[in-house]
Amino acid sequence: MGHSAAIWDYRAATEITKDWNGIDQILLRTPRGSSARVSLHGAQVTSWRNEHGEELLFTSSKAIFKAPKAIRGGIPMCFPQFGNCGSLEQHGFARNRMWAIDENPPPLPGNDSSGKSFIDLVLKSSEEDMKCWPHSFEFRLRVSLATDGDLTLISRVRNINGKPFSFSFAYHTYLLVSDISEIRIEGLETLDYLDNLFKKERFTEQGDAITFESEVDRVYLSSPNIIAVLDHEKKRTFVIRKEGLPDVAVWNPWEKKSKSMVDFGDEEYKQMLCVDGSVIEKPVSLKPGEEWTGRLQLSVVPSSFCSDRLGLDRSGL
């Protein structure tokens, strides 16, 4: 690029293009070569690449990139419902709506955009949404990419209704992994979880780390604010930092369920793992005029970083 980080024009590093369905997508780039791609369809991050150009998020080879179908992969936004825990469509409607670029968003606390390439998007309640979920809201999302390649998503949901409402939420993050049988998650040990394979029955995690040898569909409760996903084969670790997101959903469909999904390859479960910063067990309640913020930061570090250096403890951020 020929630019030093000091004089890098972050606005110029934000490029708007169209995908093959004619839907606007935003490309964020950094001087070191990292990039992220965000679609206006669902405000979904569909790609996150490191400085070597290696993709870090999983997207199914059979994903359907056509609204209103949700895209199988990347980071779908689950709002105002996670899963099938309410009366709405699976994972709510936000991931299936067309969002708009927010040209003049209310300022975020602190100087969060300093030294980052970023885009602000907004979704406002429509007449169609009000029929199935009769609440007026504004959902603002900032997606930013730091010079070191860290990807941050900040969601702000404001109640502009005349009455309170509540919602559940998740960043449904599809991580690309080398081999699911070689993956372990640290930071969720000893926690209680709801097991969706056993009618949301509550269990306590017994292992010293979470590993995978069959289908997993769980929601870990009251989790620490830093989680690590270790990929033994690639010798790298995804570090997930979060605020305002007490729960962590963990999902891998394994072999049988993979074959039942039309937008998912039969063997693709081996290369993906969903680890979602979320609010599920106790939904967010907002009075009129109140706003909720949920923040997710994704980093990748060499696995030679041990857990102690990552600060995997209860204190979080």
Q: Please, which pLDDT band fits residue 1 given cuts at 50, 70 and 90?
A: very low
pLDDT digits (tens, 9 = 90+) for 247-289: 999 999 998 888 777 767 788 889 999 999 999 999 999 999 9
Backbone angles phi, psi at 100, to 5 degrees: -120, 150
Mean pLDDT of all residues in the chain?
A: 86
pLDDT, position 232: 92
Backbone angles phi, psi at 53, to 5 degrees: 80, 10
Report the alpha-carbon distance of residue 103 to residue 163 in Å, rounded. 28
Q: Please, which pLDDT band fits residue 8 given cuts at 50, 70 and 90?
A: very low
Which residues sit in the known binding site? 72, 90, 95
C-alpha angle 37-39-45 in degrees, rounded to nearest 5: 50
68-95: b or e for each residue (b if 16 or more CB lie within 10 Å)?
eebbbbbbbbbbbbbbebeebeebbbbb
Residue of 111, 121, 166 lying closest to 279 (CA atoms): 166
C-alpha angle 292-297-303 in degrees, rounded to nearest 5: 150
Q: Please, which pLDDT band fits residue 90 given cuts at 50, 70 and 90?
A: low
pLDDT digits (tens, 9 = 90+) for 194-236: 999 999 999 999 989 999 999 999 999 999 999 999 999 999 9
Q: Please, which pLDDT band fits residue 317 given cuts at 50, 70 and 90?
A: very low
Q: In what order do the strands lie in the sheet with 14-18?
A: 14-18, 24-29, 35-39, 44-49
Quick check: 168 and 284 in contact, CB under 8 A? Answer: yes
pLDDT digits (tens, 9 = 90+) for 91-120: 678 988 999 999 889 888 765 666 789 999
pLDDT, position 310: 57
Which residues sit in the known binding site for substrate? 72, 90, 95
Determine the distance from the C-alpha atom of residue 206 to the mean position of all C-alpha atoms in its chain, rounded to a whole number: 26
Quick check: 278 and 78 in contact, CB under 8 A? Answer: yes
